[in-house]
Amino acid sequence: MSSLNDWGQVGVIAAELIDSLADSYADEEIEIGVVAVVVEITGGKLDEENWTAINYRCNNPKRWIQRALFEEAKDVARNSSEERDASED
């Protein structure tokens, strides 16, 4: 069974994102659109058979909207990773 700390990481990451967005858009009138959370769960570390499951929850049930959101998120992650890699060189 996982510890409460493991599950608490989901809340910590969400809270950090909320704080960052609130600071970034403090002087603007905005509306939150689609929200999604992705969580990787791994198990079986004590056994020989390790496994991974990807879970997500989205506030919009339309699959085409979810897919577009994840495609944009993938691009943001790729670009931020490339920027971070370039700054480390």
3-state secondary structure the chain: CCCHHHHHHHHHHHHHHHHHHHHHCCCCCCCCCCCEEEEEEEECCCCCCCEEEEEEEECCCCHHHHHHHHHHHHHHHHHHHHHHHHHHC
**Entry pTM:** 0.66
pLDDT of residue 47: 66
Q: How many folded domains does the chain comprise?
A: 1
User: Which residue in 23, 21, 53 sits closest to 35, CA to CA?
Assistant: 21
pLDDT of residue 42: 83
For each of the chain's 89 residues, which pLDDT tens digit applies?
556 567 888 888 889 998 999 999 999 998 888 999 888 888 876 667 888 888 889 999 999 999 999 999 999 999 987 766 677 76
Domain enclosing residue 82, as ranges: 4-88
pLDDT of residue 3: 62
